[in-house]
Chains A and B, each alone.
Chain A
Amino acid sequence: MLTPAQDPAPGLTVLVAGGASDSHTWNLVYLELYLTEAGHRVVNAGPCVTGDLLVTACRRHRPDLVVVSSVNGHGHRDGLAVITALRAHPQLAAVPAVIGGKLGVAGPLDPDAVARLRAAGYTEVYQDGDATALLALLDRLAARPARIEEHVP
């Protein structure tokens, strides 16, 4: 993370992670600043996050939302692997998760690939990073009355 832990903000806890084979970090730095400015607490898991790492980080930080950001063109493959690992864990089967960035090597993914990502467990798939839509989703999640229940072991 860029910044030391601060007092709990009124917003949600968002865990931001790069794709397993993706060493880019400016996208993760941007998301951390962007979501923090919107009043959310950000746990930045950094680049090259594998399924195991993501599961460990989620169990530790209990995020309200997981954001996987990938820009190296392997986001589709890497993204499927981490969401599968997340959903396989009983405590994390329902934590909302989204993926965004440049997910394919040749422009936007085809609808089938997007459908596969959703079927594997992503709530939303943001092609080329629609950060505004991400905030709208966080607002909807914050409005849910029982949002913390699913994390109770």
Chain B
Amino acid sequence: MTIKRRVAVIGAGITLFRRRLKETGKELSYHASKMALDSAEMNLSEIESVVMGTAPDAFDGIHMKSENLLDGAGGTGRPYMRPFVGGGTGVFAPIAGWWHVASGLYDTCLVVAEEKMSPVQPHPQTAFRTIWDPIITRPLQPNLVWIFALEMNRYMTKHNIPKEHIAEVAVKNKSNALDHPSAQLAAKITVEDVMNSETMVWPVQRLDISPPSDGAAALVLASEEVAKKYTDSPVWIDGVGWSLDSSYWTNRDLYYPQYVEEAAKMAYKMAKIDDPPNQVSFAEPYDPFTYKELHHMEGLLLAKKGEAPKLTHEGVTQRDGKLPICPSGGLLGVGNPIAAAGLMKCCEAFWQLRNEAGKRQVDGAETGVCQAWGDLMQVGTVTVFRR
């Protein structure tokens, strides 16, 4: 496999992540896009194509939501496209931006991800009532916390993992988020706080879950030739991968996300990575729940099966550890406006690899991996960034 053109990230932008923001989805898209363009020192007129990542239309109650958002994201009068893989969309949107440029069809692409969950009443969870198979699963009236509790339980049981080790992910990520200016739930908490928080569906407790949020993020992508005109320090997209497993999630063993491994192998192959734990400087796996960070570290082949909790407990995944995980603060700390949260991780990779992450900076960051996950515990999306 020979990839036609190398693609660079040359700008990034992000809004505040909050439970409720007064701005409309269009306005949030605008703010993130403007910041990304400004950071690239580029005008919108230099953007040839736009990709919009945003999760279910049901959040906004707008059919063909991306059509409504398009002027906020600079899509007017441009090729504008919305790739959609549920919760995996945030890391998938830059992959779609990547093929716009790598194909040679466009030299620049503005990738925007927006999510506004607050319009859903009484709670964003309501929008997920219609994600289930209408015959097999929907009559049971499940919700997401319910199925993730099943998965978490299976993971803990299979590897005999103490809940306290999983709780350490919340402590780390919320603490990392103290240094992120967009963060919604940054905090100094302890393992005891997590263990004593309200039980939602055992073993998932209140502090194991990321919050519903409003927010947006954006990246500017450019071909190698164009990137060099704008910056001396482009960040390269060197690997992309995605994989979608069967709709019938009840038919597979939930202890391991094979689809994440398939996506990771595809991205690593493209990036010529054969020893991920030693070749990746930091990673931003998707962490909407504490256990998901660990699950995804294993799927990303950064830890052996069942060993991610041990690495976390030993401090390996701290920002100053050997393999920093979620130095941004992740979804648990910064917030979870679904598609925007995934792209927030890619923004973090951009800032880390440009040495612009301020207090969050990881020493010697050369290669960063971002990953998102979604659907019915079913999709993995992976991007490898290099300086």
Q: A and B: real partners?
A: no
User: Which residues of B come within 8 Å of A, CB atoms?
Assistant: none
